C-alpha cells in the first residue's frame, strides 16, 4: 500500500480488518525500487514502526515491540526515522 506525502505527513486507511494483533512498518521508498536500501546494515531511506519503536544497531524492532491489539477503529501514528 502506498500513501502520498503532503506537508511532511501521510495518512493511510485500512478498512475491514478483523480484530487481532497488528504492527505497522512504513518505508519511505525514496527511489521507488520497492526495497529497503541499506548502507552498513542500516536503512538509507526513512523507516518507521508502530509504538514509536526506534531503530539502531542495538535495537532491532520486533513484532512483539511494535504490535498492538485491534478491537475496532484505531488511529496509529508512526514516526519515520532517517539514519
Query: What tens digit of pLDDT does each residue of 25-57 get?
Result: 998 999 999 888 988 878 899 888 998 767 776
Q: How far apart are CA 32 and CA 28, in angstroms?
A: 9
pTM of this structure: 0.79
Q: Is residue 79 part of a domain?
A: no
Task: Give the model's pLDDT for residue 64.
Answer: 92
Q: Is residue 5 part of a domain?
A: no
Q: Give the range of the structural domain holding residue 62, as residue numbers without chain letter.
A: 20-70
Number of H helices, E strands in the chain: 1, 6
Q: How far apart are CA 6 and CA 40, in angstroms?
A: 30
The tens digit of pLDDT for each residue in 54-75 reads: 777 667 778 998 999 999 999 9
- What's the mean per-residue pLDDT of the chain? 88
Q: Is residue 39 part of a domain?
A: yes
- CB neighbourhood size of 28 (10 A): 14
Q: Is residue 33 part of a domain?
A: yes
- Kindly state the greatest CA–CA separation across the chain: 40
Q: Is the pLDDT of residue 17 over 90?
A: yes
Q: Is residue 4 part of a domain?
A: no
Q: Is residue 52 part of a domain?
A: yes
Counting the structural domains of the chain, the total is 1
Q: How far apart are CA 82 and CA 65, in angstroms?
A: 20
Q: Is residue 78 part of a domain?
A: no
Which position has the grid cell 478491537?
Answer: 71
Task: Give the model's pLDDT for residue 57.
Answer: 67
For residue 50, report the phi and psi dihedrals to the nearest 5 degrees: -60, 160
Q: Is residue 36 part of a domain?
A: yes
Amino acid at each position: 500500500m502506498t500513501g502520498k506525502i503532503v506537508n511532511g505527513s501521510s495518512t493511510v486507511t485500512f478498512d475491514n480488518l478483523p480484530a487481532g494483533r497488528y504492527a505497522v512498518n512504513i518505508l519511505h521508498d525514496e527511489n521507488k525500487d520497492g526495497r529497503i536500501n541499506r548502507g552498513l546494515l542500516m536503512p538509507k531511506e526513512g523507516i518507521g514502526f508502530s509504538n514509536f519503536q526506534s531503530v539502531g544497531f542495538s535495537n532491532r524492532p520486533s513484532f512483539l515491540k511494535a504490535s498492538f491489539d485491534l478491537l475496532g477503529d484505531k488511529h496509529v501514528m508512526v514516526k519515520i526515522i532517517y539514519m
